[in-house]
Structure 1
Amino acid sequence: MTAAATQSAPSPQQTAARVEELLDRLAAQDPAAAATAEELVRALMEFYGAGLARAVGLLSGRSGAPLDALLADEVTAGLLVLHDLHPDDLAARVGRALRAADAGALEIAELDAADARLTLRQTADAAHGCGCPSTNATLGDRIEASLSCFAPEITTVEIVTEQAPREPALLQIGRRPAAASEAR
């Protein structure tokens, strides 16, 4: 597939939304046809899942790292996760998502699989970005889109920024004003 074809391919999120929209539209018009269409989608999912499982099995036995390119690709990784074939654990897939979202200034503070929650914090050497809310929102959007492919089980992402410790206020001790000392 050429680079242009890869860039024009719909994302897994777009494809899922489109399939859902088409099935809903069909269900509104003809419930029996919608049930048949859903069965067709399930049959195709099973077929593609079996094909992907076989491809992963064949590539896994090779020397080197032939799976790396597939695992780093958002579309392929999304398919592998969808079919429960992705060989990486959740933490590794979250790491891939952060690299794909170019979130190098963030590190995982907490990954709670049970609550489907990811908390990220800025690294100590984070030199780029102003830390303003709009920058964090844009980065958050990129991270959430990437997670939807690599680790869709994560539903909540929080980016925390830790403020540098503040210096204590300087207490200044001086002489009393003349009026105050004369009143005594």
Structure 2
Amino acid sequence: MSAAVDARQAGQRVEEVLDRLAATGDREVCAAAEELVRVLMDFYGAGLARVVDGVGEAALAPLLDDELVASLLALHHLNPEDVHTRIARALEAAADPLEPLGFDEATGVLTLRPRAAGGGCGCGSAADGAGRSVEDALACFAPEVTRVELAPAEPPQPALLQISTRPVTPAPVR
């Protein structure tokens, strides 16, 4: 079994290494490192594209829930699902009480709102702590999302109170 790999952490690590090389001031070394990353990305992307073509969409479907597989497919523009489906998958994976209101494909901005919970105050405090897990899931499933904006929660709707007449009870027979 392979070791667990976090796609976001791996990407951050590559950025850190490239930044360290850039900090040395040696432009040739930095350019060579960036070219190496591009060549490897192209190489692995081409191989992954062949795998996706070979197994077909039906065999690929069960793998789309895996964050690492989903992020690799998204990185190489190979995920067969549309962005809205992948956003929904990310929100489900994050298991946070947020619902999508809209996604602007031109700007990459996703607008979310805390889901109304029965008896909640509408203050959104649960959604405040949800941000990081949502961002991590979106980075894996829908990297097209470049920014998340939270809309205010809708105030909870009052419970419907049913009032009816009291049932008539017959007088006891004596």
Distance 2:67 2:121 in 1: 28
Distance 2:51 2:11 in 1: 23
1:107 corresponds in structure 2 to: 99
2:68 corresponds in structure 1 to: 75
> Where in structure 2 are the equivalents of 1:1-184 lying within 5 Å?
1=1, 5-6=3-4, 9=5, 11-29=6-24, 30-60=26-56, 65-103=58-96, 105-123=97-115, 126-127=117-118, 132-159=123-150, 160-164=152-156
2:168 corresponds in structure 1 to: none
Counterpart contact for 1:12–1:75, Cα < 8 Å: yes
Structure 2 length-normalised TM: 0.78
1:171 corresponds in structure 2 to: none
Instruction: Determine helix, strand or coil for the equivalent of 1:67.
Output: helix
Distance 1:149 1:130 in 2: 31
2:169 corresponds in structure 1 to: none
Could you say if the C-alpha distance between residues 25 and 128 of structure 1 is closer, same or farther in structure 2, counting changes exceeding 3 Å?
Answer: farther
Identity %: 51
Once the two structures are TM-superposed, the CA of residue 133 in structure 1 deviates from its matched residue by 4.6
Structure 1: segments with no counterpart, 5+ residues: 167-184
Structure 2: segments with no counterpart, 5+ residues: 159-174
* Deviation sequence 1:100-141 (CA, Å, 0-9, x none): 1013x43222222122122223445x3597755542122122
Consecutive aligned runs of 4 or more in structure 1 exceeding 3 Å deviation: 126-134
Once the two structures are TM-superposed, the CA of residue 59 in structure 1 deviates from its matched residue by 1.6
Counterpart contact for 1:75–1:149, Cα < 8 Å: yes
Distance 1:80 1:32 in 2: 31
**Counterpart code for 2:77:** D
Q: What is the RMSD of the two structures over their aligned residues, measured on CA atoms?
A: 2.5
Higher Cα radius of gyration:
1
Q: Structure with the greater relative contact order (CA < 8 A, sep ≥ 6): 1 or 2?
A: 2
